[in-house]
Amino acid sequence: MPDSLEPTLAITVDPLDPTPPYEQIRRQFALAVNSGTLRPGARLVPVRQLAARIGVAPGTVARAYRELESGGYLTSSRGAGTRVAENPPRVLKMAPPPAPVLSLISDDSSAPDLPRTTRVGAYGLVTRADAVSGSQVLLVRSSAQSKLAGQWFLPGGGVEWGERPEDAVVRELREETGLEVEVEGLLEVSSQIYDFYDEHQHALRIIYRVAVVGGALRPEPDGTTDVVEWVPMQRLLTLNVADFVRRALAVSAGRG
């Protein structure tokens, strides 16, 4: 097995890219693993060495490595260092990054008249207790195919025409996580407006309490999410988590 970072792999950070530096690093490594440029067992350069090479803080590289490890791309141990996992996921789509989300739409009459759309989705809140890390919540991360790439969500997605929302959430969790769930009850309905580069979107999210009844956890193959993970509650402070997730957790805790 190779014992160092492939010399042909040039990791860079673009200061003009709105994507956080750690996520730029994570994405480049994930793509390299997915494409076979980084082979199973390949040893990555140490955190401080890579940080000095690309001009970022060591903590930025360390976070990228942690995210890659939690996503199944890397393993680390004393003595062996950080290496590509023997069986890493092969589901990350090789696609250009999505167009940025606009933080403001100009009121100037010359601004484009973007369409207004409504998207109805069904999402599932499922938690569990872990003996080591305490309470955990099941989350998925938006992939490069999503307009909100890198953000963490409750698993779920769009309700198809004629589909009951409670059936949609079961289907979506199966597709995104590999788990079979049953609906325990309606938690809340979230309403949020997004100003994207090509549309004003009104997102209506129907959020259910759900319970896992079968299946095996795995990431979505070639979809709008690229990681699924049981996330400890205390780690939510370090992740880019969608606002509706935090509200749903607060509502769930309040109803205890």
175 and 237 part of one domain: yes
- Is 171 a domain residue? yes
139 and 236 part of one domain: yes
pLDDT of residue 145: 84
- Is 196 a domain residue? yes
120 and 77 part of one domain: no
Which CATH number goes with the domain that contains 133? 3.90.79.10
CB burial of residue 220 (10 Å; 0-12, 13-18, 19+):
buried
The number of residues making up the chain comes to 256
Taking residue 49's Cβ as centre, other Cβ atoms within 10 Å add up to 12
pLDDT of residue 31: 74
- Is 124 a domain residue? yes
- Is 108 a domain residue? no
Q: pLDDT tens across 198-232, in order?
A: 888 999 999 999 999 999 999 998 888 999 999 98
163 and 251 part of one domain: yes
78 and 187 part of one domain: no
Q: Is the pTM of this model over 0.95?
A: no
Q: pLDDT tens across 162-188, in order?
A: 999 999 999 999 999 999 999 999 999
Residue pLDDT tens, the chain, 256 long: 344 444 446 788 877 666 788 888 888 888 777 767 788 888 888 889 888 888 899 999 999 999 888 888 889 887 778 888 888 875 443 333 333 333 333 334 344 578 999 999 999 999 998 887 778 999 999 988 888 888 899 999 999 999 999 999 999 999 999 999 999 999 999 999 988 888 889 999 999 999 999 999 999 988 889 999 999 887 887 788 888 998 999 888 875 4
pLDDT of residue 10: 72
153 and 73 part of one domain: no
139 and 60 part of one domain: no
- Is 62 a domain residue? yes
pLDDT of residue 80: 76
| φ, ψ at 252 (rounded to 5°) | -60, -40
250 and 136 part of one domain: yes
Which CATH number goes with the domain that contains 56? 1.10.10.10
- Is 184 a domain residue? yes
CA pair distance 209, 214, nearest whole angstrom = 16
Residue 16 sits at the vertex; the CA angle it makes with 7 and 150, to the nearest 5 degrees, is 75
**For the chain, how many structural domains are there in total?**
2
155 and 57 part of one domain: no
- Is 12 a domain residue? no
pLDDT of residue 7: 43
CA pair distance 38, 233, nearest whole angstrom = 32
126 and 233 part of one domain: yes
CB burial of residue 152 (10 Å; 0-12, 13-18, 19+):
buried
- Is 6 a domain residue? no
Residue with tokens 């890219």: 17
pLDDT of residue 130: 80
137 and 45 part of one domain: no
Last residue within a domain, chosen from 61, 84, 107: 84
Domain with 161 in it = 116-255
61 and 153 part of one domain: no
| Contact (CB, 8 A) for 210 and 181 | yes
